[in-house]
Amino acid sequence: MASYIAKNMMGYYDMELTPKEQGAYDYAMQNSNENGPCCCKCWRWYVYGGLGKYLIRKYGFTGEQVVDVWNLSDGCGGDSEHGGH
């Protein structure tokens, strides 16, 4: 992902969602392979969390669709890469 896109998506992380939109986001958080946009709260967490909110708001993505995006874009190495945090 280009850095300017990542920076833009990170800005959407703090966006407030409507209750219906929040329900879709909460579903994605609970059902993705990593229980969120990434396995730890690194830069990817905020970028892909923002992307999820953007897709829900702008394109009406469902929680299931956000799960698919997050699972397909998995790029985190997990505990071994992050020293267990």
For residue 42, tell me if it sits in a domain: yes
Domain count, the chain: 1
Inside any domain, residue 85: no
Identify the segments of the chain with pLDDT beneath 70: 76-85
The boundaries of the domain holding residue 23 are: 3-72
> Is residue 30 assigned to a domain?
yes
Using DSSP's 3-state secondary structure scheme, residue 12 falls into: coil
Domain membership of residue 46 (yes or no) is yes
pLDDT at 79: 56
| Residue 72, number of CB atoms within 10 A of its CB | 8
Q: What pLDDT score was predicted for residue 82?
A: 46
pLDDT score recorded for residue 85 = 38
Q: What's residue 78's pLDDT?
A: 57
User: Other CB atoms closer than 10 Å to residue 65's CB: what's the count?
Assistant: 16
Q: Looking at this protein, which amino acid is placed at residue 78?
A: G
Q: What is the pLDDT of residue 74?
A: 78
Confidence at residue 77, expressed as pLDDT on a 0 to 100 scale:
62
Domain presence at residue 35: yes
What confidence score (pLDDT) does residue 71 get? 95
